[in-house]
Amino acid sequence: MATDKNKIFIFAPADATGDTHRKLEEAGCELVIGDASWATPQGNNEDEMVVMAQNADALTGTSIRSTPITKRIMESSGRLRIVAKYTIGVDDVDVEAATELGILVTHAPTETNWGGVAEGTMASMLCLMKNLRQRDVQVKGGGWREDHLQGTYVGARADGYQGITIGLIGLGRVGGRLAELLKPWRAQVIAYDPYIDASEFAAHGVKSVDYQTLLKKSDVVSLHVVLNKETHHMLGQAELSAMKPSAILINTSRGAAVDQEALIAALKSDTIAGAALDVFEDEPLSKNSDLRDLGEKVLLSPHMVSSNVGTGLGPGINWATESILKALKGEVPDNVYNKEVIPLWVERFPRNL
């Protein structure tokens, strides 16, 4: 068990029950609680976090948008062993710096999270393709059937209709689950993912294509990528211009994978037909953002596509807490994101016997 009051800085708490906080305290840990939270990812600034992280053995929490977990924050404690995220994403942690410093970064790829994202993506696509919002407004306003309320038929039919083409950028956990959800719909699903083996494409019944082909042929383009240097703004003006004017974009991965200003311009100019966004470059979305004024062209969600009753962050919080307790004993957790750091980390923090 942890001894001598190991310090844990919870930079973005999300455990409303307090159970994991008590578990850490019972293990001999002293907790420092930050201002950010799941509901309000804007919290302490970097200077404040440097002070709060001093002499910390672990940093943990959900997403934080006011400042990432920078090298400067991590360097404020020579004892820091682990940065344990409650979420799948680690784009708010300087993972390269953590690896350089010999610090583990863990994340929580729980099915409640990535499975929820896949289901939510499916719902967003159908909402846009079937004009569900417009039909609702029409009837509530006293109207009835009109041609502009017709939806798009998704799947192939016996009469020769081939169905729409859905392009998945990323065929990992979320993209793979979405492909499985789409199978009964008999749509044409293509995907771009240079890091996935050909056997995975075959297993999901998805055709592998290059990026430009996906953009050119897809009626729906859906992003399912982690955010890093390679994927930052991977969808900008040039890529949006390569899409069909009738196409829609869905982004339930990370906001900065899309150049948001280029997307706004593309929507205003009818370069593409619409977009469903659960994520944004800056969160919460500014009240002055032009995205709020694009009406039916956009379907906006407050970065909670994975949130469903009975699931949410709970499993991830528990996983992160167990990872911290293991790390404090010198044990390597089973959810390390930067696995290349493990040999150095084991040298720095020998297992407690």
Q: Which residues are catalytic?
A: 254, 283, 303
CA-to-CA separations, 20 to 14, 23, 278, in angstroms, rounded: 10, 5, 28
**Inter-residue contact 64 to 36 (CB < 8 Å):** yes
**Inter-residue contact 61 to 36 (CB < 8 Å):** yes
Residue with tokens 């659960």: 278
**Inter-residue contact 223 to 276 (CB < 8 Å):** no
Can you tell me whether residue 304 is helix, strand or coil? coil
**Inter-residue contact 14 to 37 (CB < 8 Å):** yes
How far is Cα 307 from Cα 142, in angstroms, rounded to an integer? 33
How far is Cα 70 from Cα 98, in angstroms, rounded to an integer? 9
**Inter-residue contact 327 to 333 (CB < 8 Å):** yes
How far is Cα 59 from Cα 10, in angstroms, rounded to an integer? 6
Kindly write down the DSSP assignment for every residue of 78-96, as one continuous string.
TT--EEEESSS--TTB-HH
Residue with tokens 């609680």: 33
CA-to-CA separations, 341 to 7, 18, 48, 65, 131, in angstroms, rounded: 22, 31, 27, 25, 49
**Inter-residue contact 277 to 299 (CB < 8 Å):** yes
How far is Cα 271 from Cα 203, in angstroms, rounded to an integer? 34
51: Cα separation from own chain's centroid: 28
How far is Cα 311 from Cα 12, in angstroms, rounded to an integer? 18
Q: Which amino acid is at 215?
A: L
